[in-house]
Amino acid sequence: MKNIIVLGAQWGDEGKGKVVDIYSEFADMVARSTGGNNAGHTLVVREEKHIFHLIPSGILHPGKKCVITNGVVVDPRVLLSEIDKLKSRDYLKDDAQLKVSELAHIILPYHILLDRAQEEKLGSRKIGTTARGIGPCYEDKIARTGIRMCDLVQPEIFAEKLRANLERKNFLLKNYYGAEEVDFQTTRDEYLAYGKRLHPYLIDTSLFLNEEIHRGAKVLFEGAQGTLLDIDHGTYPFVTSSNTTAGGLCTGSGVAPTKISGVVGVAKAYVTRVGSGPFPTELFDEEGQKIRDRGCEYGATTGRPRRCGWFDAPVVRYAHRLNALSSIALTKLDVLSGLPLVKVCIAYEIEGVRREDIPLTLSEFERAVPVYEEMEGWKKDLSDAREVGDLPKAAQKYVRRLEELTGVEVSLISVGADRNQTILRKNPFRA
């Protein structure tokens, strides 16, 4: 296999950063195709913690090219901050290692202000966004009023588009939301300066990726968020503003689906969710807090505590249906160590009727009661396990049961935060 997609099979925060980092060793380049800096990837390499919001985590591998494609919405300030931080840690020594699409839309100050104001206006009905301006930026993209990276290096065009947008945005900010307005001159000067710094990274990323694939390069496509946050297929309206499924990654990257060899879905050994929306297996008790603390379940982007619950098999079966998963990368199995019993949701009951698949309507999802299967827990610390045989029998049985319930084999098991705390059962690039 040459070109592999790695994406979230739950509600995001599944540990994709670590999985991408591991698989990057076998790829020639890593491409990010959707989302923005609302997605944070955390990984630990030689006890050094790295958090990425835009740049693919493959950047930590010397010589690997990392690509931010058309489908990503880019906050130039965040991107430049990540570049500077990498260089300060002696990474990204060669600027040619990073490629950014000149057609990617950019997040501007009014997007962030509108994001915050909209959430405040919703009150108890708020979505739970990261308030990073992602949604409003995608709104402009769909409304065909967006500003793209290529505009930042054309001062007259940028100024013209910015002035036109500010006329509408400032009216809305001031008169509807009662928020501060955005100054044209300050914004123009600030963002044109960003454009000068980012200019060396800008290319036609679709052309670049397709040419490299034609030459035989192995490409790892890195997803953002998770399947259940997809704008079309997620728990709408409690979703993100982009397509987080495999089809969305193809659209965002400009690489055709027929060039994709396989799709790895990343799933935690339990489930977490950030923000509002239905979550049938959510735990509100001491066990839920124990999982949250042991798993360090606090957002890499916002620091917000994540909602925690038992593994939800119908959710991953749904992700398998939408993405045609080749395998599952199972993360944070070690977090469940020490629990006398572990539970798995195998189906739902909605008003007394059993459902094997997730409901499509929000009202039904909110009424779904999980049907659990209880399994024996294990006490052993898993952090030193490097083969499946190193795991306690109960943990091995748990993994096999998840495979049976989801219909997908587990190809990787993460047993700790560090890169080397991993059981790699199958390399997707060599499958």
Q: Give the integer Cα–Cα distance in Å for 258 and 313.
A: 28
H helices of 331-379, in order, are: 362-367
CA triple 117-122-124, angle to 5 deg: 130
Selecting among 13, 115, 140, 151, the annotated active-site residue is 13
Candidates 408, 411, 409, 382; CA nearest to 395 is 382
The yes-or-no answer on residue 233 being catalytic is no
Q: Are 221 and 4 in contact (CB under 8 A)?
A: yes
Q: Are 67 and 34 in contact (CB under 8 A)?
A: no
Candidates 188, 194, 114, 185; CA nearest to 157 is 188
Phi-psi region of 136 (alpha: psi -120 to 50; beta: other; left: phi over 0): alpha
H helices of 270-385, in order, are: 286-294, 313-323, 362-367
Candidates 231, 316, 234; CA nearest to 271 is 316
221: burial class by Cβ within 10 Å (0-12, 13-18, 19+)?
Answer: buried
Secondary structure (DSSP) of 177-224: S------HHHHHHHHHHHHHHHGGGEE-HHHHHHHHHHTT--EEEEP-
* Residue 383 φ/ψ, nearest 5 degrees: -60, -20
Selecting among 21, 28, 41, 233, the annotated active-site residue is 41
The yes-or-no answer on residue 41 being catalytic is yes
Element (H, E) at 414: strand 410-414
Round to the nearest angstrom and report the end-to-end CA distance of the chain: 6
* Residue 38 φ/ψ, nearest 5 degrees: -80, -10
Q: Cβ atoms within 10 A of the Cβ of 298, count?
A: 15
Q: Are 322 and 245 in contact (CB under 8 A)?
A: yes
Would you please indicate which residues are annotated as catalytic (active-site) residues?
A: 13, 41
